[in-house]
A and B are shown apart, each in its own frame.
Chain A
């Protein structure tokens, strides 16, 4: 493996591992706001204990997010120095804004959220919780703006400097609102809400199976389901809008998502399939003309195929195709689980069926997988470009960093992150087993008014 591949793998490992945590913070942030608001409105102590319980889990998730996030802030410089020189003027601004507007907000108010229960009045504590959730969303805004600029660069021009060509901002807001920012942000944030919601649902279902904290568990599941239903249905809208945006601005990526080779013809939508990259064929279950209809509202409209691009300008098709299709399939499953779960909870059936509860215990994995492979599809689909149509990934490397350097750091990152993951699971398990502090007797079986 050469430096480029090793650097790409290292970036994938570090960002993939980091990305377990921020979506959970964003989604749990929303759940915490709902829980604490319910506590303030009803004064039912159970909701206070619920907020405290999930705040502790939030703290653990946040700590891992911070620990693995610092790596990301500097990895552009360590491994992608040429890229950094080329985009710093544009990309760096978004990253700096993220630090100033999001991280300080989040980390400052997190101290109040975690340690401030006895230090500040309930109203101020709730304000802190809202600010933490807001901070988590702000960081999503800026990092997705930065990444979207790499997908659909606008608001810049190329300038010759003493040390080569670089991109410079011509209009900050055009850079911020580049064509893909909004679609990708809404899609990502809804994915994050799903991650948080299904974590809450999963733990609630686990308690019900163990016959513990019944009221607490049911109320948690209801809150989780509300968020899950909203986010999962919204994914239909944001996902569809994202795909149309990709079709317009990154046609090679859309062609790889759907495995379309033939250029300028109406295209079918493959539900499930296999790409034969050598013979440029896709085998599978297809709906004729459906892709054309979804993108252009006309089943006979032409779609740009991979044939329109030189072989060296095409992304890897099989990987992008499978990751994208798996994400869509999971998205559909999550709608079923969210809407179906809400219906079953409303009819009281959900609490009766053990196998159903087990399904919901494991449902926590689905948004995580979808978030990971969705990002993988978006980033691999951008290849061979690091900045779409402007700079190739191979041109973005650090020229002074050797294969041995990257191999060593990659091995160490992998080992450390495996250790961190084991530790995270162990501590989550520990916290979930300990459960919420039930300060008043009777709380386990019936809601108690304070």
Chain B
């Protein structure tokens, strides 16, 4: 490995870190949205909204920054992916708009129809956003017909195929499980009891999807397993993911929700690592010919830019982690509704 290869690899990992941060953080608030309609009382719905209230927009910044980092570090991937997934991506943007607006305006008026409509908008947009993110990941894993000029002329109907839908549903299940555990930490009393039931159900849902997706990947997308075949020690990553999942019910039964939540976060991180390693060095796998694939090397920016960006990241990421930790610390504990709440 020489200097020219190190920088793209570092950036491949950093983009992965940003996307993992996004999946862990926005994962629980997207999941909260997906679960929102399972509560019926207005006060409970407000509690759920306020459990993510101070955090959701900061969480979404991880996606925005990942987008910026992808643009700067791998402009070819940024260009090919977003133009190739045009319709899916525009849909995702609409969902994120609806979601942001519903969270913000839902409790601003007291009328029942007003609140119910925004509740539905919040829940549906969160669910569809999670699904679309998973569908996109599924397509990236499976490979899409990227041509010799790096262009991918995709359409939504091709992109919604059984494998990508499976990954999409797995993502939804994972976020719902992640959110249930989070919400147990933020709630109390009767509502908390109800949410404990969700933890059980979503955990089972996630485990089923996890097993199915793993099998489907091994059977239909064998190239994702290649790095693990070539480097046996990498098998430690799937092992960690399984251990992290297994630890969730253990911590739940001991009543230690924070640890369960950390385990669930570790599960997401391990699955993202599993995905990143399986893809490496490809960023968009071409189903036409391996030589057309966009990789961390042929899609990267110049070493100078990657270095500059690395300096920005080294200065910026500790600050970002600092604010994030600070905000989560200030707003720790159970949700208490007051006149500043949603």
**Contacts from A to B (Cβ < 8 Å):** 59-60, 62-64, 66-71, 73-74, 76-79, 81-82, 84-85, 87-93, 95-101, 103-105, 107-112, 114-120, 159, 162-163, 166, 168-170, 172, 398-401, 405, 408-409, 412, 416, 420, 423, 427, 430-431, 437
Identify the closest chain B residue to A400 (Cβ).
B153
Contact at A400–B75, with CB atoms within 8 Å?
no
Contact at B301–A168, with CB atoms within 8 Å?
yes
Q: Which residues of B contact A398 (CB under 8 A)?
A: 79, 83, 86
B251 within 8 A of A: no
Identify the closest chain A residue to B67 (Cβ).
A73
* Closest Cβ–Cβ distance, residue B299 to chain A (whole Å): 9
Name which of B72, B151, B339 has the most chain A CB atoms within 10 A of its CB. Answer: B72
Contact at B68–A81, with CB atoms within 8 Å?
no
Contact at B72–A96, with CB atoms within 8 Å?
yes
User: Total number of A-B contacts with CB less than 8 angstroms?
Assistant: 229
* Closest Cβ–Cβ distance, residue B92 to chain A (whole Å): 9
Kindly state the separation between the CA atoms of A166 and B302 in the bound complex, as whole angstroms.
10
Q: Which residues of B contact A85 (CB under 8 A)?
A: 75-76, 79, 150
Kindly state the separation between the CA atoms of A109 and B58 in the bound complex, as whole angstroms.
9
Kindly state the separation between the CA atoms of A168 and B313 in the bound complex, as whole angstroms.
19
Q: Which residues of B contact A119 (CB under 8 A)?
A: 330-331
Q: Which residues of A contact B301 (CB under 8 A)?
A: 88-89, 92, 168
Identify the closest chain B residue to A420 (Cβ).
B101
Partner of A67, one of B67, B100, B317: B100
Kindly state the separation between the CA atoms of A431 and B104 in the bound complex, as whole angstroms.
13
Question: Which of B134-142, B207-215, B265-273, B304-312 has 4 or more CB atoms under 8 Å from chain A?
Answer: B304-312
Given the known A-B contacts A63-B104, A412-B90, are A70 and B71 also in contact in the complex, defined by CB atoms under 8 Å?
no
Contact at B105–A427, with CB atoms within 8 Å?
yes
Q: Which residues of B contact A170 (CB under 8 A)?
A: 304
Partner of A110, one of B57, B326, B338: B57
Q: Which residues of B contact A89 (CB under 8 A)?
A: 72, 75, 301-302, 305
B291-306 residues with Cβ-Cβ distance < 8 A to A are: 298, 301-302, 304-305
Contact at A111–B54, with CB atoms within 8 Å?
yes
Identify the closest chain B residue to A434 (Cβ).
B108
Main secondary structure of the interface of A (DSSP, over half): helix
B284 within 8 A of A: no
CB-CB nearest 4 A-B residue pairs: A88-B75, A77-B82, A92-B72, A99-B65
Q: A96-B65, A96-B69 are in contact. List 15 more A-B contacts (CB 8 A).
A: A73-B67, A81-B83, A84-B71, A85-B75, A88-B78, A92-B301, A95-B68, A96-B309, A98-B68, A99-B69, A105-B323, A115-B340, A120-B330, A163-B149, A400-B154
Kindly state the separation between the CA atoms of A101 and B313 in the bound complex, as whole angstroms.
9
Given the known A-B contacts A105-B323, A168-B301, are A115 and B341 also in contact in the complex, defined by CB atoms under 8 Å?
yes
Partner of A115, one of B54, B80, B86: B54
Contact at A108–B149, with CB atoms within 8 Å?
no
Partner of A104, one of B53, B79, B304, B319: B319
Contact at B312–A96, with CB atoms within 8 Å?
yes
Contact at B54–A114, with CB atoms within 8 Å?
yes
**Contacts from B to A (Cβ < 8 Å):** 53-55, 57-58, 60-61, 63-65, 67-69, 71-76, 78-84, 86-87, 89-90, 93-94, 96-97, 100-101, 103-105, 108-109, 149-154, 298, 301-302, 304-305, 308-309, 312-313, 316-317, 319-320, 323-324, 326-327, 330-331, 338-341
Identify the closest chain B residue to A118 (Cβ).
B338
Kindly state the separation between the CA atoms of A70 and B59 in the bound complex, as whole angstroms.
12
25 of the cross-chain contacts (CB-CB < 8 Å) are A63-B100, A67-B96, A73-B67, A74-B93, A88-B71, A90-B305, A91-B71, A92-B72, A92-B305, A93-B72, A96-B73, A99-B61, A100-B313, A107-B60, A110-B58, A111-B331, A115-B54, A120-B330, A163-B298, A170-B304, A405-B87, A416-B97, A430-B108, A431-B108, A437-B339
Main secondary structure of the interface of B (DSSP, over half): helix
Q: Which residues of B contact A95 (CB under 8 A)?
A: 68, 71-72
Q: Which residues of B contact A99 (CB under 8 A)?
A: 61, 64-65, 67-69
Contact at A88–B97, with CB atoms within 8 Å?
no
Kindly state the separation between the CA atoms of A9 and B326 in the bound complex, as whole angstroms.
41
* Closest Cβ–Cβ distance, residue B60 to chain A (whole Å): 7
Q: Which residues of B contact A84 (CB under 8 A)?
A: 71, 75, 78-79
Kindly state the separation between the CA atoms of A73 and B338 in the bound complex, as whole angstroms.
34
Kindly state the separation between the CA atoms of A103 and B63 in the bound complex, as whole angstroms.
11
Kindly state the separation between the CA atoms of A66 and B64 in the bound complex, as whole angstroms.
10
Q: Which residues of A contact B55 (CB under 8 A)?
A: 111
Identify the closest chain B residue to A106 (Cβ).
B61
* Closest Cβ–Cβ distance, residue A391 to chain B (whole Å): 14
Q: Which residues of B contact A159 (CB under 8 A)?
A: 302
Contact at A401–B78, with CB atoms within 8 Å?
no
Contact at B96–A70, with CB atoms within 8 Å?
yes
Q: Which residues of B contact A70 (CB under 8 A)?
A: 60, 63-64, 93, 96-97
Given the known A-B contacts A92-B78, A114-B54, A427-B105, are A163 and B150 also in contact in the complex, defined by CB atoms under 8 Å?
yes
Kindly state the separation between the CA atoms of A112 and B75 in the bound complex, as whole angstroms.
35
Contact at A104–B323, with CB atoms within 8 Å?
yes
Partner of A76, one of B57, B61, B71, B89: B71
Identify the closest chain A residue to B148 (Cβ).
A163
Contact at B68–A169, with CB atoms within 8 Å?
no
Contact at B151–A399, with CB atoms within 8 Å?
yes
Identify the closest chain A residue to B75 (Cβ).
A88
Contact at A77–B101, with CB atoms within 8 Å?
no
Given the known A-B contacts A67-B97, A119-B331, A162-B298, are A100 and B317 also in contact in the complex, defined by CB atoms under 8 Å?
yes
* Closest Cβ–Cβ distance, residue B61 to chain A (whole Å): 4
Contact at B79–A81, with CB atoms within 8 Å?
yes
Contact at B152–A400, with CB atoms within 8 Å?
yes
Q: Which residues of B contact A423 (CB under 8 A)?
A: 101, 105
Identify the closest chain B residue to A87 (Cβ).
B75
Q: Which residues of A contact B298 (CB under 8 A)?
A: 162-163
Contact at B83–A77, with CB atoms within 8 Å?
yes
Q: Which residues of A contact B84 (CB under 8 A)?
A: 400
Kindly state the separation between the CA atoms of A92 and B63 in the bound complex, as whole angstroms.
15
Partner of A78, one of B53, B54, B86, B341: B86
Kindly state the separation between the CA atoms of A68 and B94 in the bound complex, as whole angstroms.
9
* Closest Cβ–Cβ distance, residue B233 to chain A (whole Å): 33
* Closest Cβ–Cβ distance, residue A162 to chain B (whole Å): 7
Q: Which residues of A contact B76 (CB under 8 A)?
A: 85, 88, 163
Contact at B64–A108, with CB atoms within 8 Å?
no
* Closest Cβ–Cβ distance, residue A401 to chain B (whole Å): 5
Kindly state the separation between the CA atoms of A191 and B76 in the bound complex, as whole angstroms.
35
Q: Which residues of A contact B74 (CB under 8 A)?
A: 88
Name which of A60, A96, A423 has the most chain B CB atoms within 10 A of its CB. Answer: A96
Kindly state the separation between the CA atoms of A103 and B319 in the bound complex, as whole angstroms.
12
Contact at A68–B97, with CB atoms within 8 Å?
yes
Q: Which residues of B contact A108 (CB under 8 A)?
A: 58, 323-324, 326-327
Given the known A-B contacts A96-B309, A119-B331, are A81 and B53 also in contact in the complex, defined by CB atoms under 8 Å?
no
Given the known A-B contacts A85-B75, A111-B55, A405-B86, are A66 and B68 also in contact in the complex, defined by CB atoms under 8 Å?
no
Name which of A62, A64, A66 has the most chain B CB atoms within 10 A of its CB. Answer: A66
Contact at A88–B79, with CB atoms within 8 Å?
yes
